[in-house]
Structure 1
Amino acid sequence: MAQAYIRLAHGLDVHSPGYIDGYGGPAEWADRSERSPQQLQEEAARLTDLVAQVTDPARRTFLEVQSRAMHTLVRMLGGERLAYSEEVRGLYDIDPERADLAELEDGLNRMDAALPGSGTLEEREERLRARVQLDPDDVLRVTTPVLDELRRRTGNTFWLPEGEDFSIGLVRNQPWGGYNWPLGNLRSRIDINVDLPVLLPSLPDLMAHEGYPGHHTEHSGKEARLVRERGWHEHSIQLINAPECVVSEGIAVNALDAVMTPAEVREWLTGDLSRVAGLDPDDVRAWLALQDARESARGVNGHAALMLHEDHAPQAQVVEFLMRYNVVSEARALKSLEFITHPSFRSYTFTYSVGGRLVRRAMQAGAPREVFARLLTEPVTPGELAR
């Protein structure tokens, strides 16, 4: 069954490059021979039959949801045109959500009150952003103590498999700010895109998201617990357009809160990390106040994607929306537009907003650390999280 799952994933990746985010399983299962959408449809039907025979309910539920998403992608590759909302539901097992425009306007008012100085909201935001931005040459130097502390806390709070590790590097010309590439063998690679400003106040969250206890911790933990200990080889592959991404991004969005309180993060940033980076702690405090005020902007990019792909609004109107409610320049709004028009990511944006909310509510409903620990090492679907 796992071999059929992995073989189908590689067949889909041939038609939709980037569908596979990482693979660390047997090389002979990675069949990249080109098959027609009709042949892939037949493979998907055969996989459904095999999944139905899986006896472990947790394993079967995960595979049922994942294989349904594969069916959706096969239909799209075969030329079927799906409504955008149906595409999101079919690929990710969630409903796309629009932002509350009244909340966005309220957020702008709170940001206006939080930002020091005179001038427009964007002008003041850009001035403050420049004062908390790291020089690209300093990014890796400042990142090292951040990762060291997050790794220590993750190991003490949760669990890290022996031998896990990752490399980190700087890249350009990408539609995202940071990315974790699972490499298998308990390892991954983290890339930081220095085309976008790397801000000190955002660095702990970025490294928690991509590293500890976010993507790297989840991928290595599931490889150790599910693949190596239980023989569930379907977890040796990570897919982009699949329900597992909702849970994975939900974990990553809440990763920093799982190991540090907001007060601890604030003290760390305005103390040791400001000294390491050579930045004014008062500027860092001002940016943190701005981050608190912009909390309501979580759904801006998803709303923009619905405007573009479902309402068929002109791109210029979508860019204006992104500039206004993300409080960014046109150049940075165009970078967000690049993400929501990218073939692999056009519907992915909801994995952050919806996934983050689902994981946050699950943690609030139970013992937060126990819930988070389960998500790091067990297969859980978006539907299970919602329930």
Structure 2
Amino acid sequence: MQKFKLFILVLATFFFSHLCGAKTLDQTAEQYVKLVLALGEHDSGYVDAYYGPDEWAEEARAKKMPIDLIISEAEVLRSELPKMTPDTELMQRLREYYLDQQLVALVAHAKNLSGVEKLDFDAQSRDLYDTEAPHHKLSDFDPLIAELDKMLPGEGSMESRIEAFKKQFEIPKNKLNAVFDRAIEECRNRTKAHIPLLDNENFTLEYVTDKPWSGYNWYKGNAFSLIQVNTEFPIDISRAVDLGCHEGYPGHHTYNALLEDNLVKKRGWVEFSVYPLFSPQSLIAEGSANYGIELAFPGNDKAEFEKNVLFPIAGIDPALAESFEHLGELTSKLSYASNEIARKYINGDIDKTEAVRLLQKYSFSNKDKATQRVRFFDTYGAYVINYNWGKDMIKAYVEQADDQDERWARFTKVLSSPRLPSSLDW
């Protein structure tokens, strides 16, 4: 009887929408936001940010729309989107395409969440993030592991030598504030030289524990963010700039503030007042945040800044900087190994114990850190591709220009327009 009532309600929604004529894009955008909020009632981690009308969020909480109805209404809404033509103004085409692909992801996540259609790793990548990350064999990374083995001093297992080596670069807890404050200041100054930041932009920095991630930006609207850094495990010195750029400048905080100002406030596009985490927007968000580190600190700038500024603040010997930089280069080259481990784990090809073991080998992690990473896989699934594959996609787009100022201009265009992975080059 419940399914029959749901079927009648969906039919009524479909016929009513057609009798009333085609929706405007603004009406479609409003319904999209309400469906995202409705799905957020079934998944507390789905709505990453929302700063639209309070009554829409209250309505979602009160209605508790069933997932089946959310799926049906989203499919109808997508079918009613106007068809694009080559003559349509670019920003309008980007907007229409954004809504289309975000609705595809909404339906996919809702089906996966409800158990209607369980998605494997690559299906999650395609349906949620509008792309598919490249495949590798774990054995492809063995030469890098051998190189690491040669560079590590001391005797004993590789795990114990890595642990001892990395311990030299941990930021003492009583120096965390000073190191992060200086790193974020530098990230902001370098970003501000190329991107006009809003006069009222600001953030609060908090230190937290017991999270599956190392850092997080909670965007609150009106150019304000809450940035959290997970101190459950020791933080090495390179993470200060990485997190300062990724979570702040020119990363998530900058991205969200620009979208709000350019698209919500200036154009009235309400769909950008909500950010559904499991969507193509996340690849742009995470990819630009990771590439932003490299853009803000090109060449050897990051290594030099860490050696000359952050090492002394943290009380770390600058003479160790060169070997630390080499470790960072190897770690970066191994990032795709983590994707392969996540793919095997999510697809059921390996269990948690094996995933932890492989992460210890291929990501230079101790057992606790590797276990935390598997918690990330459990929570976020194929989201891992957004960091490395997303970075490479943004990098390929931005670095079509050779001039550094033009690269910043292309990067800013990504941050302030409704581009998705498959519309980057529009």
Normalised TM-score (structure 1): 0.94
1:361 correspondence with 2:400: no
Q: Secondary structure at the match of 1:250?
A: helix
Deviation for aligned residue 1:146: 1.1
Residues 94, 423 of structure 2: 8 Å contact kept: no
1:111 aligns with 2:148: yes
Report the Cα offset of residue 170 of structure 1. Answer: 0.3
Give the structure 1 partner of residue 22 of structure 2. Answer: none
Across the aligned residues of Structure 1 and Structure 2, the Cα RMSD in angstroms comes to 1.8
Alignment of 1:1-387 (within 5 A): 1-30=28-57, 31-32=60-61, 33-52=63-82, 56-84=92-120, 85-342=122-379, 345-366=380-401, 367-385=406-424
The AA in structure 1 aligned to 2:239 is: S
Letter in 2 for 1:322: L
The offset of 1:359, in angstroms, is 0.8
How far is the alpha carbon of 1:49 from its aligned partner?
4.3
**Residues 210 and 369 from structure 1, CA distance in 2 versus in 1: closer, same or farther, beyond 3 angstroms?**
same
Query: Which AA in structure 1 matches 2:170?
Result: Q
How many residues matched? 385
| 3-state SS, counterpart of residue 195 of structure 1 | coil
Q: Which residue of 1 aligns with 2:25?
A: none
8 Å CA contact retained: 1:201, 1:284: no
- Return the offset for 1:322: 0.7
* Residue type at the aligned position of 1:384: S
Question: In 1, are the aligned partners of 2:35 and 2:74 still within 8 Å (CA)?
Answer: yes
1:159-212 residue CA offsets vs partner (Å, 9 max, x unmatched): 212211110010001000001111111111110000122111221112101100
Q: CA deviation at 1:100?
A: 3.6
Quote the Cα distance in structure 2 between the aligned partners of 1:312 and 1:386: 36
Secondary structure of 2:74's counterpart equals helix
Post-superposition offset of 1:229: 0.9
Instruction: Tell me the distance in 2 between the aligned counterparts of 1:71 and 1:271.
Output: 50
- The residue type paired with residue 92 of structure 1 is Y
Q: Deviations over 1:258-298 (max 9, x none)?
A: 12223121111111211111111123332111111233211
AA partner of residue 341 (structure 2): A
* SS at structure 2 position matched to 1:157: coil
Match of 2:15 in 1: none
Change (3 A) 1:46 1:27: farther
1:361 counterpart letter in structure 2: A
Range that drifts further, 19-28 or 36-45: 36-45
Distance (Å, rounded) in 2 between the aligned partners of 1:10 and 1:224: 21
One-letter amino acid matched to 2:391: G
Quick check: 2:112–2:119 contact (8 Å CA) kept in 1?
Answer: no
Using a 3 Å threshold, how does the CA distance of structure 1 residues 141 and 151 change in structure 2: closer, same or farther? Answer: same
Whichever residue aligns with residue 53 of structure 2, its letter is: P
- Amino acid across the alignment from 2:64: E
Please identify the structure whose Cα radius of gyration is greater.
Answer: 2
Paired with 1:338 and 1:4, the residues of 2 have a C-alpha distance of 33
Do the aligned residues in 2 keep the contact of 1:301 with 1:336 (CA within 8 Å)? no
1:14 maps to a residue whose letter is E
Does the aligned pair in 2 maintain the 1:222–1:235 contact within 8 Å? yes
SS at match of 2:229: strand
How far apart are the structure 1 equivalents of 2:134 and 2:347? 12
Partner Cα distance (1:223, 1:103) in 2: 42
Following superposition, which runs of at least 4 residues in structure 1 exceed 6 angstroms of deviation?
A: none
Q: Amino acid of the residue matched to residue 88 of structure 1?
A: S
Q: Which amino acid letter does the alignment assign opposite residue 48 of structure 2?
A: D
> Structure 1: which 5+ runs fail to align?
none
Q: Is the CA contact (8 Å cut-off) linking 1:114 and 1:293 kept in structure 2?
A: no
Distance 1:386 1:329 in 2: 40
